[in-house]
Amino acid sequence: MAKPSIYLTTPIYYVNDKPHIGHAYTSLATDVLARFKRLDGHEVFFLTGTDEHGQKVEKAAKDAGEDPQAFTDRVSQAFRDLTATMGFSNDDFIRTTEPRHKDACTALWQVLAERGEIYLGDYEGWYAVRDEAFYGPDELTERDGVKYAPSGAPVEWVREPSYFFRLSKWLPELLRRYDLPEGNPERIDIQPESRRNEVRSFVAQGLKDFGEGSEKLDLSVSRTSFTWGVKVPGDEKHVMYVWVDALTNYITAAGYPDTNAERWRFWPADVHFVGKDIVRFHTIYWPAMLLAAGLPTARRVFAHGWWTNEGQKISKSLGNVIDPVSLVEEYGLDPVRYFLLREVPFGQDGDFSRKSLVNRLNGELADALGNLANRTLSLIQRNCEGRLPEAGDAVVGREFLEGVVALPGQLRERLDRQEFHLALEAVMASVRDANGYITLEAPWALKKTDPVRMAVVLRHLHTALRCYATLLQPFMPETAGKMLDQLGVPAEARDIAALGTALPGGIALPAPAPLFRKIELPAA
Ligand code: ME8
């Protein structure tokens, strides 16, 4: 039977800046889900990449005194390097300056134009180059004669001929799709719920204010004021609005316009992971464009929250940008991956603090999990001649083992809802149970009094550790791999289905070594 397929995407990041912790975070969440799904018998297509067109990038290149292509080649590489530093398992890395992407954008534009979904008009409005977005006059604030967008970016009055996309036509259909029940293939699921409500009322309000079909609700989709972009087919004075170009990346990588391409079977995407700043683009413009082109819409958009640094907004001007590369150098890759998804409920804002990072790593990884593994495996070395005891009756600890057996299902459920923190909490809750079990049974004392029971207890603990290590692979690939090595689990028995088959008793286990190091918090 063919494996079920799943398509997961990250935003494509602007190359006007170096990658920071926010970028690493979105891609990390996507990576963990991709790895979990692969372990759980799915065929996964995981896409990330860079967004290289638009006025903002053109300006950044100019400021750096570089040609835009040379500039984007250089900065895009930094994002590609980040995927290696963070251990991302993406199947493709798309750049919007690639020919395949220009072809896809051109083809999509032509389809929209042929279907009468695009028309030529004039655009006037307040435009923020930094956000690549127009704002309504009521959204602006003024200081010293300069008007600013809600994001803090200065805006300028722009008037130019522009092509428009008939967004207005699709808004009622979007509302219908937001409201469809779970399981309906046409549903556009926006998560978390609070974001869904926001988007829903934004669309409903627009329809109320301007009326269905009003041109005021249409989207300006081309620019003549700069040139760094994909040219509009048939009218090369215009380049496509960068968001039209950017969003199209998700179908380019699936082979569009060739809907017979092998990869096209992955479309529609199962989850677009995005930050909360770009929800509207993904839940309004993008599905409307797809509908207008007669293509299926992505199933879910999950918008996560914002990271602050020790309570402060992360910004270049404050000089408090967290560099993922130096974080990984300081604490190690797996601990950083663990912390980012453990600390903050996915979907909410979170604060990055070294103190909580150190506490989590020491308390949960080194003390709870690391010690459990080390104690269990050392006892097997010492008291069982280094051989895995046979699986025996549960005696005491049946309840504990039942909890372990239920874990894979719990993780599946949690991760299907992108509840990364709860998935990790479920594993940690079981680790705490296991520590209670080992303390209660005190297998180190059973050697003399009841060696049979000792062997059974150690075997149960081994079973639990194997389950934890298997399930933690998506979060901490290297450490979980080492743990599985120490547990004697062969490479072909490391997926989730394999947890259903016990390892044969009697196999020799290698000598254990510590999996995590404790970290000292520098004195304040
Ligand atoms: O918006 N906390 O690219 P971008 C958490 N090119 N996540 C953060 C963050 C923070 N402080 N800062 C950034 C773009 N992010 C467009 C996307 S998609 C078709 C085009 C993450 O480089 C978050 O995922 O500005 C956010 O959505 C993304 O970086 C924005 O990246």
Which single residue is written with the structure tokens 């993904």?
A: 282
pLDDT value at position 16? Answer: 79
Distances in whole angstroms, Cα of residue 137 to Cα of each of 125, 140, 148, 157: 8, 6, 10, 10
Q: How crowded is residue 491: how many other Cβ atoms within 10 Å of its Cβ? A: 8
Q: Which 3 state secondary structure label does DSSP give 312? A: strand
- In tens, the pLDDT along 66-110 reads 999 999 999 999 999 999 999 999 999 999 999 999 999 999 999
Does residue 29 have its Cβ closer than 6 Å to ligand 1?
A: no
Q: Distance, CA 42 to ligand 1 centroid (Å)?
A: 27
Return the residue whose CA atom lies nearest to atom 23 of ligand 1. 275
Does residue 23 have its Cβ closer than 6 Å to ligand 1?
A: yes
Return the residue whose CA atom lies nearest to atom 12 of ligand 1. 22
**If DSSP states are collapsed to H, E and C, what string results for 247-296?**
HHHHHHCCCCCCCCCHHHHHCCCCEEEEEHHHHHHHHHHHHHHHHHCCCC
- Which two three-digit tokens encode residue 104? 């896809």
What is the rounded CA–CA span in Å between residue 512 and residue 520?
Answer: 24
pLDDT value at position 311? Answer: 85
Return the residue whose CA atom lies nearest to atom 5 of ligand 1. 22
pLDDT value at position 524? Answer: 59
**Which ligand 1 atom sits closest to the C-alpha of 247?**
19
- Which two three-digit tokens encode residue 507? 């196999």
Q: Model-level pTM?
A: 0.94
Share of the chain above pLDDT 70, in %: 99
ω into 345 cis (within 30 of 0): no
What is the rounded CA–CA span in Å between residue 449 and residue 441?
Answer: 12
Does residue 340 have its Cβ closer than 6 Å to ligand 1?
A: no
Does residue 13 have its Cβ closer than 6 Å to ligand 1?
A: yes
Q: If we measure between CA atoms, which residue out of 270, 477, 481, 458 comes closest to residue 382?
A: 458
Higher pLDDT, 314 or 221: 221
pLDDT value at position 123? Answer: 87
- Which two three-digit tokens encode residue 209? 């204010």
First to last CA, the chain: 58
Contact 286, 246 (CB under 8 A): no
Does residue 247 have its Cβ closer than 6 Å to ligand 1?
A: yes
pLDDT value at position 523? Answer: 66
How does DSSP assign 1-52, residue by residue? -PPPEEEEEEEEEETTS---HHHHHHHHHHHHHHHHHHHTT-EEEEEEEEE-
Does residue 28 have its Cβ closer than 6 Å to ligand 1?
A: no
Q: Chain-wide mean pLDDT for the chain?
A: 95
Q: Which of 8, 9, 10, 14 to mutate to test the pocket of ligand 1 (most atoms within 8 A of CB)?
A: 14
pLDDT value at position 26? Answer: 98
Q: Distance, CA 234 to ligand 1 centroid (Å)?
A: 32
Give the mean model confidence (pLDDT) for residues 359-363.
Answer: 95
> Is 431's pLDDT higher than 70?
yes
- In tens, the pLDDT along 112-126 reads 999 999 999 998 889
Q: Distance, CA 97 to ligand 1 centroid (Å)?
A: 19
Residue 395 binned pLDDT confidence (cut-offs 50, 70, 90)? low
Looking at the chain, the number of H-run helices and the number of E-run strands are 18, 17
Strands (E), 292-340: 300-304, 307-309, 312-313
Q: Which of 25, 94, 308 to mutate to test the pocket of ligand 1 (most atoms within 8 A of CB)?
A: 25
Does residue 22 have its Cβ closer than 6 Å to ligand 1?
A: yes
Residue 432 binned pLDDT confidence (cut-offs 50, 70, 90)? very high
Does residue 26 have its Cβ closer than 6 Å to ligand 1?
A: yes
Q: Distance, CA 306 to ligand 1 centroid (Å)?
A: 10
pLDDT value at position 513? Answer: 96
pLDDT value at position 410? Answer: 98
- In tens, the pLDDT along 181-213 reads 999 999 999 999 999 999 999 999 999 999 998
Give the mean model confidence (pLDDT) for residues 281-301.
Answer: 98
The mean-pLDDT minimum among 167-171, 210-214, 476-480 falls in 210-214
User: Domain 354-500 maps to which CATH number in 1.10.730.10, 3.30.470.30, 2.40.50.140, 3.30.300.30?
Assistant: 1.10.730.10
Q: Which of 31, 130, 277 to mutate to test the pocket of ligand 1 (most atoms within 8 A of CB)?
A: 277
User: What are the domain boundaries of the chain?
Assistant: 354-500
Specify the length of the chain in residues: 524
Does residue 31 have its Cβ closer than 6 Å to ligand 1?
A: no
> Is 522's pLDDT higher than 80?
no
pLDDT value at position 394? Answer: 58
Does residue 278 have its Cβ closer than 6 Å to ligand 1?
A: yes
Does residue 153 have its Cβ closer than 6 Å to ligand 1?
A: no
Q: Distance, CA 63 to ligand 1 centroid (Å)?
A: 21
**Which ligand 1 atom sits closest to the C-alpha of 275?**
27
What is the rounded CA–CA span in Å between residue 208 and residue 204?
Answer: 6
